[in-house]
């Protein structure tokens, strides 16, 4: 087991560009590392997003989850229901600027006062990055030296750094990530090298064009090649940025090769700055990322399981071994989640998780959600997104406690073991 040391780093203003007056509404972001294991690895800290201009400051503990959004709002949970989620844990939202390509012009967003005002979410922090991993995905074969190509709701679009920064500056997110050329794991070494070169060049362009204000996270790519990953991370670390975004995951690499790649990247990065990753989502992937020293996760896992009719049920209390795995397997469980479409829940008048305090579990039964799924009513997704988000945020809280308590490695191992045992039993 690792011994945790408390390593308080003096909060520093993350200065991005020399002329601070260019910042429009967001103050400087601060990251404060609270505790980390010897020799890198899992770490806990706090991330403070400055307020101003009608926008509140947001302070969250890390490791933390960015909630997935569509056009800036959670997929099925309307803004008046958002306060029922744990706070401040739920106050970091992911945003893809490309969601607005089809309807709202940048000048209009600007006129409406930026994202926070347009969405009526002044108490939330927005992290903008191109990919949403649902509708907006990198299409590497359309990318060329002038810009990155994406599949978006309005077809394939080539986005140049200048256009991207313009979009960002109208939206004024708290944090934004520089434009990257993300490639899947299977491309040639040559193409992978090119993606690192382009990503670095576009990053410098983004920084020099920065009229956006907000804090910039530099994009790190490099596919499945450790050397390229290191080259990219080292170069990005040289720039004066607020933090780092690690891209290129969840694009065909194997789970097995991930720890090596993540370790290589994180070792090149200064410890006092936050690291955000995209493309990891399963609970065990989150643990893998935390173990490597990742602080922020942009994940569509909740969205995908919600759409599939699943509810997260794995025990959050490390001491609990959970319900008999045999029983759960019968009801379509895989230890982490249950499928509420299963007829097993037709008459189940218990909440999804007995002691869960979320809006869904406080008010509704599995039988009702099973019915809503059967008749294709949208409230099913609303209730599931509420519970799943609540539960997943609880998972992150447990992770933070484990890091601070110095038993993260054990917690990680236990989780993986229980999952494996369960799957073995389920096979019988």
Partner 1 sequence: MALRFEVLGRFNRARAAQLTLPHFVCQTPLFMPVGTQGTIKGLTTDQLEDIGCQIILGNTYHLALRPTSELIDELSGLHKFMNWPRALLTDSGGFQMVSLLHLADITEEGVTFQSPVDGKPMLLTPEESIQIQNRIGADIIMALDDVVKTTITGPRIEEAMYRTLRWIDRCVAAHKRPAEQNLFGIVQGGLDPILRDICVRGLVERNLPGYAIGGLSGGEDKNSFWRVVAQCTGALPEDKPRYVMGVGYPLDIVVCSALGADMYDCVYPTRTARFGTALVPEGVLKLKHKAMAEDIRPIDPTCSCMVCKKYSRAYMHCLVTKDAMGSQLLSYHNLHYIMKLSRDLHSSILHGNFPEYVCKFLQKMFPEGDVPKWVCNAMEVAGVDISSCCSFNLKQGKKTQESREDY
Which residues here bind Zn ion, judged by CB under 5 A?
356, 358, 360-361, 387
Which uninterrupted H or E stretch holds 58? strand 58-62
Binding of residue 364 to partner 1 (CB under 8 A): yes
94 binds, among Zn ion, partner 1, none (CB under 5 to 8 A by kind): none
Give the chain's largest Cα–Cα span: 65
Among residues 52, 54, 79, 308, the one that binds partner 1 under rule CB under 8 A:
79
In 248-282, where does DSSP find H-type helix? 258-268
Alpha helices in 20-114 (DSSP H): 106-111
Distance CA 258, CA 260 (A): 5
CB nearer partner 1, residue 290 or residue 384: 384
Shortest distance (Å) from residue 358 CB to Zn ion: 3
Residue 81 site contact among partner 1, Zn ion, none (CB < 5 to 8 Å, cut-off depends on kind): partner 1
Outline where 54-154 has alpha helix (H).
106-111, 115-119
Nearest to 280 by CA among 295, 304, 293, 297: 297
Compute the least distance from the CB of residue 352 to Zn ion, in Å.
5
Shortest reach from residue 368's CB to Zn ion, in Å = 13
Pick 91 or 387: Cβ nearer Zn ion: 387
Q: What tokens appear for 355 in the block?
A: 């002691």
Q: Least Å distance between CB 387 and Zn ion?
A: 4
> Does the footprint of partner 1 cover residue 383 (CB under 8 A)?
yes
Selected from 381, 399, 403, 415, the binder of partner 1 by CB under 8 A is 381
146 near partner 1, rule: CB under 8 A: no
Residue 407 CB-density burial (10 A; 0-12 exposed, 13-18 middle, 19+ buried): middle
Choose the contact partner of 105 out of Zn ion, partner 1, none; CB within 5 to 8 A by kind: partner 1
Closest contact distance (angstroms) between CB of 114 and partner 1 is 12
CB 360 within 8 A of CB 320: no
- Counting residues that bind partner 1 (by CB under 8 A) gives 42
Rounded least distance, CB 359 to Zn ion, Å:
8
| Cβ(37)–Cβ(43) below 8 Å | yes
The count of other CB atoms within 10 Å of the CB of residue 389 is: 27
Residue 331, token pair as written in the block: 């009801």
With CB cut-offs between 5 and 8 Å by kind, which of Zn ion, partner 1, none does residue 119 bind? partner 1
What are the C-alpha distances in Å from 168 to residues 25, 85, 104, 108, 127? 13, 27, 13, 13, 10
Choose the contact partner of 358 out of Zn ion, partner 1, none; CB within 5 to 8 A by kind: Zn ion
In the set 343, 363, 413, 417, which binds partner 1 (CB under 8 A)? 363
| C-alpha pair distances (Å), 387 with each of 303, 322, 369, 391 | 12, 18, 11, 6
Which residue in the set 368, 395, 408, 411 belongs to the binding site for partner 1 (CB under 8 A)?
368
How many other C-beta atoms are found inside a 10 Å radius of the C-beta of residue 48? 17
- Scanning residues 388 to 417, which ones bind partner 1 (CB under 8 A)? none
> From CA 169, how far away is CA 77, in angstroms rounded?
27
Q: 320 is in the binding site of which of partner 1, Zn ion, none (Cβ under 5 to 8 A by kind)?
A: none
> Which is nearest to 157 in space by CA: 71, 209, 98, 200?
98
Which window, 9-17, 101-109, 123-131, 413-421, contacts partner 1 (CB under 8 A)?
101-109
**Which residue in this structure is represented by tokens 């799924």?**
373
Query: Least distance in Å: CB of 339 to partner 1?
Result: 17
Residues belonging to the chain = 428
380's tokens: 């099913």
Q: How far, in Å, CA of 208 to CA of 35, rounded?
A: 34
Residue 303, both tokens? 């969205």
Q: How far is CA 346 from the centre of its chain?
A: 33
Contacting partner 1 (CB under 8 A), which of 29, 47, 119, 216? Answer: 119
Q: Which of Zn ion, partner 1, none does residue 419 bind (CB under 5 to 8 Å by kind)?
A: none
Residues 149-168 that bind partner 1 (CB under 8 A): 153
Site string for partner 1, 272-311 (x = CB under 8 A): ----------------------------------------
Of the pair 52, 79, the CB lying nearest Zn ion is at 79
- Least separation, in Å, of the C-beta of 298 and Zn ion? 23
Indicate which single residue of 41, 56, 57, 70 sits in contact with partner 1 (rule: CB under 8 A).
70
Which residues contact partner 1 (rule: CB under 8 A)?
Answer: 70-71, 73-76, 78-81, 100, 102-105, 108, 111-112, 118-120, 153, 346-347, 349, 359, 363-365, 367-368, 370-372, 374-375, 377-379, 381-383
């Amino acid at each position: 087991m690792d011994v945790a040391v408390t390593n308080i780093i003096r909060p520093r203003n993350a200065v991005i560009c020399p002329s601070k007056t260019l910042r429009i509404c967001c103050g400087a972001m601060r990251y404060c590392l609270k505790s980390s294991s010897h020799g890198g690895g899992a770490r806990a800290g706090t991330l403070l997003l400055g307020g101003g201009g009608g926008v509140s400051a947001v302070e969250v503990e890390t490791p933390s989850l960015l909630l997935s959004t569509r056009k800036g709002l959670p997929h099925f949970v309307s803004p008046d229901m958002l306060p029922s989620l744990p706070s401040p844990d739920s106050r970091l939202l992911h945003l893809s600027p490309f969601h607005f390509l089809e309807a709202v012009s940048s000048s209009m967003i600007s006129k409406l006062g930026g994202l926070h005002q347009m969405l009526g979410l002044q108490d939330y922090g927005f992290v903008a990055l191109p990919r949403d991993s649902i509708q907006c995905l990198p299409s590497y074969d359309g990318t060329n030296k002038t810009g990155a190509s994406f599949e978006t709701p309005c077809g394939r679009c080539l986005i140049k750094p200048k256009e991207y920064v313009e979009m960002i500056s109208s939206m004024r997110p708290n944090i934004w990530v520089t434009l990257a050329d993300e490639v899947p794991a299977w491309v040639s070494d040559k193409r992978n090298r090119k993606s690192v070169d382009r990503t670095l060049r576009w990053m410098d362009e983004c920084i020099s064009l920065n009229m956006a204000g907000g804090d910039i996270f530099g994009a790190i790519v490099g596919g499945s090649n450790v050397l390229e990953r290191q080259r990219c991370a080292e170069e990005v670390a040289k720039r004066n940025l607020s933090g780092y975004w690690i891209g290129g995951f969840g694009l065909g690499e194997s789970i097995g090769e991930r720890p090596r790649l993540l370790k290589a990247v994180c070792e090149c990065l200064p410890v006092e700055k936050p690291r955000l990753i995209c493309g990891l989502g399963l609970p065990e992937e989150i643990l893998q990322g935390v173990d490597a020293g990742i602080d922020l996760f942009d994940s569509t896992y909740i969205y995908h399981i919600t759409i599939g009719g699943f509810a997260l049920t794995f025990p959050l209390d490390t001491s609990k071994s959970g319900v008999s795995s045999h029983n759960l397997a019968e009801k379509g469980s895989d230890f982490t989640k249950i499928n509420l479409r299963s007829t097993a829940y037709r008459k189940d008048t218990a909440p999804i998780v007995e002691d869960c305090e979320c809006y869904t579990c406080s008010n509704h039964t599995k039988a009702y959600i099973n019915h809503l799924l059967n008749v294709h009513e949208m409230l099913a997704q609303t209730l599931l997104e509420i519970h799943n988000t609540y539960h997943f945020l609880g998972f992150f809280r447990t992770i933070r406690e484990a890091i601070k308590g110095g038993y993260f490695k054990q917690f990680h191992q236990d989780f993986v073991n229980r999952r494996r045992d369960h799957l073995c039993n389920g096979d019988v």
